């Protein structure tokens, strides 16, 4: 038996749960004020859903998907294979079509928060199971909506006090300008073919856009000299992009133009963006990313529906929060600790736990401990505001000792008065 988490996965311990909670609350707050409603899709879905959306020759589809099988099961039909979701957008789009959301008031605005799975070489910031949250806006093509999504990404970072964020923006055009972009890239990279990595030599023919997203250092260096994609856009896409930037300027959202930015997923059209940290500008470690995907719903056979969205990686955000030493203030309710000595006192202690917890007051005891000293030590470790001590004498007298841990003072009260006294001390009365 291997008693450790599988490679590329990790336990999210209470210390990190504080950060997760902090992020989730910010996401929910932003969702609420921007009118997004929550959706949860299955953790596994049919393989074809992802291959169609993300692209047959993308890293995710080629190397990173996990198949889900019942032990001993053989699946003959490729299309019926089940895959652990490597991202959410494909599932959200499936849900949009499956539940006839086109008939809902448009745009439909949905958000999510949950685990996704990608098989890659684990390293700092790259996991095999990680959490994503994201926002999808389906049923609107206006450039203002692209800017709203980017502005939402910015507001989120701001509300999490991640002051170090930069938003990189680009446009990769629509289906009609794609051949021009492809030709320009092919022309540029063909001249450098000798120094491209083996994968990119293959990509040059199949899909030169992928070269721009290559993780190989030499390929990345070349990419920085590649022709800007916006120069090759059709007039409509150029105008769309210009308007997106105008809306961003109007809203005073800081951004950097990144002329060779593409995304590792095939479904994007027009605007795409990534959020990176100034202290780590490598896009391989982006905090979040997204863009427009006007063709995806149609590609699945659904009604023609333009859409845009974005997603962030939660663990990467937690790392950034820690690195930037963002203080997370937890509104923790003061806790009561109940110490007991002897069997009868333990019964009284259990009753008192129920009584306090029933009133919504956090209370704990150490029922397996019998010595007063070790129990008081635990009360200190737990940072209890008040310790109630019930010993043999108190059981006989029908009293309890209430000790204010901060002031270091204690008093004896009748057992019927304990709740009232604690409430007064906590300012609840």
Candidates 212, 326, 200; CA nearest to 268 is 212
Which residue, among 370, 300, 385, has the nearest Cα to 339 in the 3D structure? 370
Identify the residue among 93, 230, 261, 310 touching ligand HAM (CB under 6 A). Answer: 310
The answer to whether the CB of 287 falls within 8 A of the CB of 316 is yes
Report strand pairing: 129-138 vs 108-117: antiparallel
Interaction of residue 170 with ligand HAM, rule CB under 6 A: no
| Cα–Cα distance, 367 to 362 (Å, whole number) | 16
Residue whose CB is less far from ligand HAM, 208 or 313: 313
Rounded least distance, CB 34 to ligand HAM, Å: 15
How many Å apart are CA 315 and CA 320, to the nearest integer?
9
Q: How far is the CB of 35 from ligand HAM (least distance, A)?
A: 17
Should residue 132 be labelled a site residue for ligand HAM when binding is judged by CB under 6 A? yes
Here the tokens at position 79 are: 């299309």
**Is 139 or 264 the residue whose CB approaches ligand HAM more closely?**
264
* Site track 237-266 with ligand HAM (rule: CB under 6 A), x = hit: ---------------------------xx-
Least Cβ distance, residue 224 to ligand HAM (angstroms): 20
C-beta atoms surrounding 420 within 10 Å:
13
Among the candidate windows 102-110, 153-161, 235-243, 304-312, which touches ligand HAM by CB under 6 A?
304-312
What secondary structure letter does DSSP report for 24? H
Site for ligand HAM contains 136 (CB under 6 A): yes
For residue 128, what is the DSSP state? S
Nearer to ligand HAM, 132 or 232 (CB): 132
Considering only residues 139, 290, 306, 391, which one is a binding residue for ligand HAM as defined by CB under 6 A?
Answer: 290
β-pair partners for 183: none
Toward ligand HAM, which CB reaches closer, 36 or 312? 312
Interacting residues of 308 by C-beta distance below 8 A, sequence separation 6+? 136, 137, 140, 145, 146, 149, 271, 290, 291, 292, 293
Element (H, E) at 146: helix 143-159
CB of 60 to ligand HAM, least distance (A): 7
CB 153 within 8 A of CB 310: yes
Regarding 287 and contact with ligand HAM (CB under 6 A), the answer is: yes
Tokens representing 291? Answer: 């863009």
Asked whether position 288 contacts ligand HAM by CB under 6 A, the answer is: yes
x-marked contacts with ligand HAM along 73-112 as a string, rule CB under 6 A: --------------xxx-----------------------
Chosen residue from 258, 266, 315, 394 binding ligand HAM by CB under 6 A? 315
- E strand or H helix that includes residue 166: strand 165-171
Please give the residue whose beta carbon sits closest to ligand HAM in the complex.
313
Cα–Cα distance, 162 to 43 (Å, whole number): 29
The one among 55, 91, 134, 173 contacting ligand HAM by CB under 6 A: 134
CB of 125 to ligand HAM, least distance (A): 6
Q: Which is nearer to ligand HAM, 288 or 306 (CB)?
A: 288
Our finding on whether 208 is near ligand HAM (CB under 6 A) is no
Neighbours of 328 (CB within 10 A): 13
Q: Could you tell me the two tokens for 11?
A: 């336990």
Binding site for ligand HAM (CB under 6 A): 87-89, 118, 120, 125-127, 130, 132, 134, 136, 264-265, 286-291, 309-313, 315-316
């Amino acid at each position: 038996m291997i008693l450790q988490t599988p490679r590329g996965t990790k336990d999210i311990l209470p210390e990190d749960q504080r950060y997760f909670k902090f992020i989730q609350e910010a996401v929910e707050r932003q969702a609420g004020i921007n009118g997004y409603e929550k959706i949860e899709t299955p953790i596994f879905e049919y393989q074809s859903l992802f291959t169609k959306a993300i692209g047959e020759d993308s890293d995710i589809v080629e190397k990173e998907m996990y198949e889900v099988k019942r032990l001993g099961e053989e699946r003959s039909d490729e299309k019926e294979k089940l895959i652990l979701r490597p991202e959410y957008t494909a599932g959200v789009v499936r849900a949009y079509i499956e539940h006839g959301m086109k008939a809902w008031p448009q745009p439909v605005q949905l958000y999510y928060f949950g685990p996704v799975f990608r098989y890659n070489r684990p390293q700092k910031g790259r996991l095999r199971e990680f959490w994503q949250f994201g926002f999808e806006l389906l049923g609107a093509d206006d450039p203002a909506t692209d800017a709203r999504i980017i502005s939402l990404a910015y507001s989120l970072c701001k509300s999490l006090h991640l002051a170090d964020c930069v938003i990189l923006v680009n446009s990769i055009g629509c289906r009609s300008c794609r051949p021009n972009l492809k030709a320009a890239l092919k022309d540029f990279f063909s001249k450098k073919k000798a120094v491209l990595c083996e994968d990119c030599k293959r990509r040059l023919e199949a899909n030169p856009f992928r070269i721009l997203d290559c993780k190989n250092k030499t390929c990345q260096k070349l990419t920085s000299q590649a022709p800007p994609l916006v120069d090759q856009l059709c007039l409509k896409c150029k105008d769309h992009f210009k308007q997106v930037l105008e809306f961003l300027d109007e809203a005073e959202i800081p951004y950097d133009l990144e002329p060779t930015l593409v995304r590792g997923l095939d479904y994007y059209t027009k605007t795409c963006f990534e959020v990176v940290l100034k202290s780590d500008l490598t896009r391989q470690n982006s905090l979040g990313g997204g863009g427009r995907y006007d063709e995806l719903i149609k590609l699945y056979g659904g009604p023609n529906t333009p859409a845009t969205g974005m997603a962030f990686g939660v663990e990467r955000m937690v790392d950034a929060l820690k690195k930037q030493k963002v203080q997370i203030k937890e509104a923790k309710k003061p806790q009561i600790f109940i110490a007991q000595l002897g069997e009868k006192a333990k019964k009284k202690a259990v009753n008192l736990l129920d009584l306090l917890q029933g009133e919504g007051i956090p209370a704990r005891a150490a029922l397996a401990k019998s010595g007063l000293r070790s129990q008081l030590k635990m009360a200190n470790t737990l940072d209890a505001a008040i310790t109630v001590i019930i010993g043999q004498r108190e059981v006989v007298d029908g009293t309890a000792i209430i000790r204010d841990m901060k002031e270091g003072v204690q008093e004896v009260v009748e057992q019927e008065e304990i709740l009232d006294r604690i409430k007064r001390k906590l300012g609840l009365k």
